[in-house]
Structure 1
Amino acid sequence: MSPSTTPANWVATRRDRTSSALDRCFAEGLTGHTVVKREGKRIELTDGSVVTEFVSCSYLGLESHPALAEAAVAATATFGVHLSSSRNRMRPVYLPQLEELLGEIYPGTAPCVFTSTSNVHLGVLPLLASGSLPSYPMTREPHFFVDRNAHASMQVLRGIYEQFGPVSRLPSADPDEAERTWQRAAGDRTPIVLSDGVQSMTGLTEVGELAARLRRAGGYLYVDDAHGVSIVGTDGCGYAFDDMGGRLPANVVLAGSLSKGFGGSGGFLLVASPDDVAVVRKLANPLVFGHSVMVPMMAANVASAQLHRTPEVRQLQDRLWANAACLDELTGGKLSNAGLRSPIRGALFGTEEDGLRAARLLRDRGVVMLPAFYPTVAQGTSLLRFAMSSLHTEEEIRLLAATLEKVGGYGLPVAAAEAERG
């Protein structure tokens, strides 16, 4: 086939539709900040300026907790910075300690720690689709349904899913329409729905309701709750586990992050049985052929898990939600996710230029955030994302709200980008 008749692939389509807006943000110092030091949510940049950041996804501020820092220092003195081996060959003592603690935070589950949430997806979804996990039998071939707002780390694996069965897009946030979609498309196949819990830009998914509907259809739900871990629930179990009633339904596989609200580094898997974990340890490529989480961070993960079993995490959760409510009140509920149990707020603009102007004004006033353009949000629009934390002060939140008031023109109806264009 000649180059002129070769169909455009999804990467080429995305590349050709992406503007220079993000490049301009880098060039103007509106994103890509290099941090010299920090105190709370105040960071010093290489140009000497000190700004308030609403960028970090450490929603409870645990990464700066003395217990985590002390654990990392002690582990470094004992092991050095790394035990360079896959976990199947050699592992630091902190790994089994962490998985045991995760089993207490998530009762009735079998946890398995990975180096990242993305590696959980890469390692586990092929095992689920192939019927290799004992607790999740695949009596019919699968049909994948990927939520339109599911994280890019799941969207990008479509080519892998297609090795096992068809792949379809799923409407987000509407369980009725989602069920109609998989009923129309799945036929005699097993529906496997991939979804976020707390979405990385806008919205929450009713994972408890989705799980119940899929159970009746003989299907499975795979949840990425990276942004939901620690922020709500008993012992900081997170949004998805809490929404499912503090248990893991028999037809659900859950992936979480240790790098956001948890305050450490890595990702983890929750499945129904140790028999499932045994298969994952033998066959999941990122575990079999990849290294473990760096030793100091694994020790910090253990310290964080121990904190999750104390009242302190509940206190940090309360502070986080008080800060989010304060921002919602000061901005009149115009930000995306206002009133939701999501730590993410967003100012949506109808054009990229409007978003750039707002980002410049915020930077001039000492506030930095995450500016997003296509393909993260719908083509031609822009979103300024603000990650809330228990560490933000009322003064910092008021500064953000006052600057947004001066900007004006934000808060359009949310139009999330589709993961594949054309």
Structure 2
Amino acid sequence: MNSPLGDTISTKENTNWVAQRSSAITDMYDRAVRAGLTGHTITGRRGKTLTVDGKTYVEFTSCSYLGLEDHPRMIQAVHAAVDRYGMNLSSSRNSMEPIEAVELEDTLGKVYPGMHALVFNCVSSVHLGLLPLLGANTLPNYPISLAGPLFVIERTAHASIQVLKGIYKQLGPVTRFRIDDEDTLAEAMNEARRTGRTPIILVDGIGSMGGLIDVAHLQQVAENHSGYLYIDDAHGISIDGPSGAGYAYQALGSQVPANVLLAGSLSKAFGGSGGFILLHEEADRRVLRREGNTMVFGHANMITHMVANAESARMHFDGTVATLQEQLWANVAYFDEVVRSGDLINAGTRSPIRGLALDSEEAAFNAAVHLRDAGVVCFPVFYPLVAKGTGLLRFGISATHTRAQITNIGHLLASA
């Protein structure tokens, strides 16, 4: 139930699916902004409490699942960075970078033993920088058949993957499948085999609106067809595993198989900003750094961000992240306990995201008003993030939410 953007993509080559999607969007998001349900302009924050227009609200909106972004060590690292470097190095990373960038990638190589990490300014930049090179058979240790690639996109993969369809099609055909319909995946794999193309399966790890993808199964399918599995595990990084390697890495048996490319976010549970890709060989990392469009021509991560990222990486090894993980999963379990609804998405799963599915946009709007009036803000979600005509209240649960704040959510939803 992540982004059903794929539902609006026609199989006809010339269909303007962006226009199709836009024409089906209602004014509900604009209404939600005008009503103060989302699009908040905040003037202060303390823990999970925001100040908006002079009023305080408890937020379940952010993706800060461990609460690291306002940890004292992170704040001190940023203060020190400004004194040492100023606000920013206005340069691409290929020209110059702070030592913390090297330290960060080295530490990520310890979180994921044997892997070579390359950090970008966001996860979308990872997709745009890497996937064209992969499809063009440019990465030496990820060979593509002479016939070329077949891009196989899971229907609920993040919009930042889906929107690149036009670029993929310059390299090979594109098809989609449904994770809940094995026949659609089998059909795509049969097409790859029939045409001699290398399948590249594109998926999320944890869906931003709900669902956990069975990446271990997809890895085996890709291997059986001499293909690759590309995983965007933005919402899974740091929340699981002894060193915070995340959902997908754990689901794959605490490894990155040879036919898997794993992308992750530094901007969510990691507590910093940016994205990264894990590659098996330094030779591939060199090519991507030299030729990845968003790496060469995009702006580098802000100095303050890179230094905060490096501090967070160290906190993944000193017990800080492990303690916060315990607090997160205790809060997630408690949320499931107090929010008793058959429409609660992800209930009982190893995901920090919960969603309350509602049968109309109006119902989601009204429920969000009820929460806001009681001093709680969440993310009211409408098409195209959920199916047309439906609504969702999305809750991001954090290690730093208090039990009282979660208890209050249960009472409010019961009375909505």
**Residue 272 (str. 1) matches residue 280 (str. 2):** yes
Which residue of the partner structure matches residue 108 of structure 1? 114
Which residue of the partner structure matches residue 416 of structure 1? none
Distance 2:340 2:371 in 1: 18
Map 1:101-180; keep pairs closer than 5 Å. Answer: 101-139=107-145, 140-173=147-180, 176-177=182-183, 179-180=185-186
Q: Give deviations 1:20-72, integer Å, cap 9, x for gaps.
A: 11110001000011111111101111x21101000110100000111111111
Q: Give deviations 1:139-163, integer Å, cap 9, x for gaps.
A: 2411111111100000000000000
Distance 2:360 2:408 in 1: 24
Distance 1:201 1:184 in 2: 30
SS in 2 for 1:234: coil
Deviation at 1:292, TM superposition (A): 1.1
Q: Give deviations 1:165-184, integer Å, cap 9, x for gaps.
A: 1111110255x445413223
Q: Which amino acid aligns with 1:211?
A: Q
SS in 2 for 1:347: strand
Count of residues paired in the alignment: 399
Superposition misfits of 4+ residues, deviation over 4 angstroms: none
Which residue of the partner structure matches residue 86 of structure 1? 92
**Residue 55 (str. 1) matches residue 72 (str. 2):** no
Deviation at 1:329, TM superposition (A): 1.1
Distance 1:178 1:114 in 2: 33
**Residue 387 (str. 1) matches residue 396 (str. 2):** yes
Distance 1:210 1:234 in 2: 24
Kindly indicate whether the alpha-carbon contact (under 8 Å) linking 1:333 and 1:339 is maintained by their aligned counterparts in 2: no
Structure 2 residue runs without a partner (length 5+):
1-13
Q: Which amino acid aligns with 2:330?
A: A
Deviation at 1:332, TM superposition (A): 2.3
Q: Which amino acid aligns with 1:339?
A: G
Q: Which amino acid aligns with 1:261?
A: A
TM, length-normalised to structure 1: 0.93
Which residue of the partner structure matches residue 18 of structure 1? 25
Kindly indicate whether the alpha-carbon contact (under 8 Å) linking 1:22 and 1:373 is maintained by their aligned counterparts in 2: yes
Distance 2:27 2:124 in 1: 27
- Decide whether aligned partners of structure 1 residues 234 and 333 sit closer, same or farther in structure 2, where only a CA change above 3 A counts: farther
- Decide whether aligned partners of structure 1 residues 178 and 318 sit closer, same or farther in structure 2, where only a CA change above 3 A counts: farther
Identity of aligned residues (%): 49
**Residue 353 (str. 1) matches residue 362 (str. 2):** yes
SS in 1 for 2:243: helix
- Decide whether aligned partners of structure 1 residues 228 and 178 sit closer, same or farther in structure 2, where only a CA change above 3 A counts: farther
Q: Which amino acid aligns with 1:138?
A: I
Kindly indicate whether the alpha-carbon contact (under 8 Å) linking 1:173 and 1:206 is maintained by their aligned counterparts in 2: no
Which residue of the partner structure matches residue 197 of structure 2? 189
Aligned with 2:347 (options 325, 329, 338)? 338
Distance 2:214 2:15 in 1: 35
CA RMSD for the aligned pairs? 1.1
Distance 1:400 1:173 in 2: 31
Kindly indicate whether the alpha-carbon contact (under 8 Å) linking 1:198 and 1:342 is maintained by their aligned counterparts in 2: yes
Aligned with 2:249 (options 234, 237, 241)? 241
Structure 1 residue runs without a partner (length 5+):
1-6, 408-422
